[in-house]
């Protein structure tokens, strides 16, 4: 997976220098973005959140080959866990380092709940069940306001606590060394740290015995069984791990927004995350992160360019930016699947498969 | 006591019984053939022995222990390896990655290395193609890979399901030479085959299966000579 660093002719020193350079750019990035407007920092934060989600879904879809169309449900579960345990809704205000693990654990439980009954399903059938599961969770969130008000229904939960460590508040703007550091910038650094941690966990998982078992199951489940892999447990583990990462991302989302409602966890979001995984390169950690960042940014860029462009050329807005955005987005996906079906940055095995298909033609 | 002892084994799929109470035994170091027509229940029998489908009745003893309802991931740790029907190689992984997957249950790196070389010695063709994706191998090479992969778990009992299926005669010959070599190495083998002649020539003993039951059991050369077998399976 680290093939970029391993195979390259670059020496260890060069790759170390590259890492330092990338780190510096990432550290300076939010201040540069803040020049263009805090909105861009928020967009970046959302992009990182989606990268976390994509990494989680990549475990299920990319590593283990289990098509999951309801993944956003785990994000929702994590978000609501945080919202309910750190807001005036129940009057609970637990610190985030307590809630995030709870959110991950609850999401993990839901992952197993989804995984257990679907163990024997594959491909399309699994996709349909997971799709239904995602909808069930959303509908529950929407309706669990009566007779006992748990989720506050479609209104959602408001006034959610931001992350706090002692007197350090993540949502309060501050001055550091004469630099204006807004709330989103603080969250940016936190998200970046979490992203790096999650990526390290993913790389380690991929190279582990479990990672190999996932590959075997993805390639041929019967043969995997014959290799001595406990396919039941290993599949459940994929669901559980993927769900936990979704739960953590959800908790961070709730804290950053200060508000959650069922609307954030609709089917389109599941499909969006899946598109990030597929477009970036299923099974490749770097590709998946790239896919998430591209698909988060490009639509925003379009949002800011489509309208001024039309105004300048036609003098008025002919087509709503939202419409064009989805149109271009769809077109991009179609073109991608035609010309780079293994994704922008494919995993090793997928690249091989692609090369073989070409040769066969 | 035999290494593998099966008594009254019954296996069904949703009400239809594919195996109807069979008895069979394989001694340590023996090569035993299980022959029969398509749909006789041979593959189901092997799957049940490998823990891939649960038997509905009967008992299976291995090395004196009951293994009747143990799942495959426990059986392979006891030394029972299955080469599935249709080979089932991981087509998108390389030859070497496939073989490494065969050693999934082991963690003795040095031993795995040594066994890898041993397999390459057994199948020089696989060594030449070690970095090649398994899906690009010929059918015979894939069968070699499937057998080699099963050998990577260091089995005591090897269950082979139709190793000759869909292969050119010359390749079938080669596969059987290897099976013979593995057997001479001391690995106990239960061989399921439609190619009755080849299987009985390689084996010491044989069982003939028909509609889920064992209808004949004898020394391989006796079966080869019997009119019943000759008429039904050797096309004479």
Q: CATH assignment of A11-360?
A: 1.10.3470
Number of CB pairs < 8 Å for A and B?
68
Rg of the Cα trace of chain A?
Answer: 21
pLDDT at A4: 46
Of A319 and B159, the structure prediction assigns the larger pLDDT to: B159
Measure CB to CB from residue A228 to each of B88, B89, B153 and give the nearest one. B153
Mean pLDDT of chain B: 92
Give helix then strand counts, H and E, for chain A.
Answer: 14, 6
Dist. CA B97–CA B113, nearest whole Å: 12
Rounded Cα distance, B4 and B191, in Å:
13
* pLDDT for the residue A52: 96
Contact A289, A192 (CB under 8 A): no
Q: Identify the three-state secondary structure at position A278.
A: helix
Q: Under DSSP, is residue A319 helix (H, G, I), strand (E, B) or coil?
A: coil
Report residue A120's pLDDT band, with 50, 70 and 90 as the boundaries.
confident
How far apart CA A280 and CA A272 sit, in angstroms, is 12
B88 with A228: Cβ contact below 8 A:
no
DSSP classification of residue A260: B
Q: Which region holds residue A343: left if phi is over 0, alpha if psi is between -120 and 50, else beta?
A: left
What pLDDT digit, counting tens, does each position of A239-272 carry? 999 999 999 999 999 999 999 999 999 998 999 9
Per-residue pLDDT band at A281 (split at 50, 70, 90): confident
Q: Which residues of A touch B (CB under 8 A)?
A: 209, 212-213, 215-216, 219-220, 222-223, 225-231, 349-350, 352-353, 356
ipTM beyond cut 0.90: no
B29-53+69-233: CATH topology: Rossmann fold (3.40.50)
End-to-end CA distance of chain B: 37
Contact A226 B82 (CB under 8 A): yes
From chain B, pick out residues whose CB is under 8 angstroms from the CB of A216. Answer: 90, 101, 104
- What's the CA gap between B4 and B157, in Å, rounded? 8
DSSP per-residue string spanning chain B: --SEEEEEEEEEETTEEEEEEEEEEE-TT-EEEEEE-TTSSHHHHHHHHTTSS--SEEEEEETTEE-TT--HHHHGGGTEEEE-TT----TTSBHHHHHHHHTTT---HHHHHHHHHHHHHH-HHHHHTTTSBGGGS-HHHHHHHHHHHHHTT--SEEEEE-TTTT--HHHHHHHHHHHHHHHHTT-EEEEEES-HHHHHHH-SEEEEEETTEEEEEEEHHHHHH-HHHHHHHS--
For chain A, the 3-state helix, strand and coil shares in percent, each to the nearest 5, are: 75, 5, 20
Assess B134–A contact: CB distance below 8 Å, yes or no. Answer: no
Long-range contacts of A333-341 (CB under 8 A, 24+ apart): A333/A275, A333/A279, A336/A279
Could you read off the pLDDT of A134-188 as tens digits, one per residue? 999 999 999 998 888 889 888 999 999 988 887 788 878 887 777 778 888 989 9
Hey, what are A133's tokens? Answer: 């599961």
Q: What is the pLDDT of residue A3?
A: 45
Report domain extents, chain B: 29-53+69-233
**B81/A209 Cβ within 8 A:** no
d(CA A76, CA B224): 67
Min CA distance, B223 vs chain A (Å)? 31
Q: Which chain A residue lies closest to B50 (C-alpha atoms)? A: A226
Q: Which two tokens stand for residue A321?
A: 């930016």
Structure-token pair, residue A344: 């922008």
The Cα of B179 is separated from the nearest Cα of chain A by a number of Å equal to 19
Chain segment B202-226, per-residue pLDDT in tens = 999 999 999 999 999 999 999 999 8
**pLDDT score, position A148:** 86
pLDDT tens digits, B55-87 = 999 999 999 999 999 999 999 999 999 999 888
Q: Determine the 3-state secondary structure of A85 from DSSP.
A: helix
Assigned token pair, A358:
């070409």
Nearest of A137, A357, A140, A161 to residue A251 by alpha carbon: A161
Judged by a CB distance cut-off of 8 A, whether residue B69 touches chain A is: no
- Encoding tokens for residue A341? 């079906």
Parallel, antiparallel or unpaired: strands B157-161 and B80-83:
parallel
Q: Is A53 a residue whose pLDDT tops 80?
A: yes
Cβ-Cβ contacts under 8 Å for B12 (sequence gap 6 or more): B18, B19, B56
């Amino acid at each position: 997976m680290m093939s970029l660093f391993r195979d390259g002719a670059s020496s260890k020193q060069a790759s170390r220098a590259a890492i330092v350079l990338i780190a510096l750019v990432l550290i300076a990035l939010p201040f540069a973005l803040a020049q263009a407007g805090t909105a861009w920092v928020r967009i970046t934060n959302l992009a990182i959140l989606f990268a976390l989600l994509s990494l989680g879904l990549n475990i299920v879809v990319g590593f283990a080959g289990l098509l999951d169309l309801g993944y956003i449900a785990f994000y929702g579960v994590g978000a609501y866990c945080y919202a309910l345990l750190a807001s005036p809704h129940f009057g609970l205000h637990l610190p985030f380092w307590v809630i995030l693990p709870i959110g991950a654990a609850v999401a993990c439980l839901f992952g197993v709940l989804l995984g257990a009954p679907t163990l024997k399903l594959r491909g399309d059938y699994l996709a349909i069940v997971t799709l239904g599961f995602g909808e069930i969770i959303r509908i529950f969130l929407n309706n669990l306001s009566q007779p006992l008000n748990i989720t506050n229904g479609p209104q959602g939960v408001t006034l959610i606590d931001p992350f706090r460590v002692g007197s350090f508040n993540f949502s309060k703007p501050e001055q550091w060394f004469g630099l204006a550091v807004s709330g989103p910038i603080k969250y940016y650094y936190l998200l970046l740290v979490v992203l790096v941690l999650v990526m390290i966990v993913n790389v380690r998982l991929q190279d582990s015995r479990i990672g190999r078992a996932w590959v075997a199951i993805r390639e041929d489940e019967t043969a995997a069984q014959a290799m001595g892999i406990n396919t039941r447990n290993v599949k459940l583990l994929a669901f559980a791990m993927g769900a936990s990462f979704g739960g953590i991302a959800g908790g961070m989302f709730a804290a950053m927004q200060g508000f959650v409602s069922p609307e954030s966890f609709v089917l389109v979001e599941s499909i969006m995350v899946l598109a990030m995984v597929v477009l970036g390169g299923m099974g490749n950690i770097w590709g998946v992160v790239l896919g998430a960042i591209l698909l988060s940014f490009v639509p925003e860029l379009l949002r800011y360019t489509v309208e001024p462009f039309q105004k300048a050329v036609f003098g008025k807005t002919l087509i709503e930016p939202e419409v064009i955005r989805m149109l271009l987005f769809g077109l991009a996906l179609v073109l991608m699947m035609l010309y780079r079906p293994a994704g922008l940055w494919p995993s090793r095995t997928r690249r091989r498969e692609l090369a073989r298909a070409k040769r066969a033609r | 006591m035999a290494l593998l002892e099966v008594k009254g084994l019954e296996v069904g799929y949703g009400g239809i019984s594919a195996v109807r109470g069979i008895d069979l035994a394989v001694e340590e170091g023996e090569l035993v053939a299980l022959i029969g027509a398509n749909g006789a229940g041979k593959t189901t029998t092997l799957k049940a022995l490998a823990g891939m489908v649960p038997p509905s009745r009967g008992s299976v003893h291995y090395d004196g222990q009951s293994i009747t309802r143990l799942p495959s991931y426990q059986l392979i740790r006891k030394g029972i390896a299955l080469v599935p029907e249709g080979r089932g190689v991981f087509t998108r992984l390389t030859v070497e990655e496939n073989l490494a997957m065969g050693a999934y249950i082991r963690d003795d790196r040095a031993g795995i290395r040594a066994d890898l070389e041993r397999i390459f010695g057994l199948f020089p063709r696989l060594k030449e193609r070690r970095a090649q994706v398994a899906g690009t191998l010929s059918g015979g090479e894939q069968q070699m890979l499937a057998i080699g992969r099963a050998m990577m778990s260091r089995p005591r009992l090897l269950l082979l399901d139709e190793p000759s299926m869909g292969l050119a005669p010359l390749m079938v010959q080669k596969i059987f030479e290897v099976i013979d070599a593995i057997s001479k190495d001391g690995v106990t083998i239960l061989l399921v085959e439609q190619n009755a002649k080849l299987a009985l020539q390689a084996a010491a003993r044989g069982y003939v299966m028909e509609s889920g039951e064992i209808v004949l059991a004898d020394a391989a050369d006796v079966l080869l000579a019997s009119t019943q077998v000759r008429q039904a399976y050797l096309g004479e």
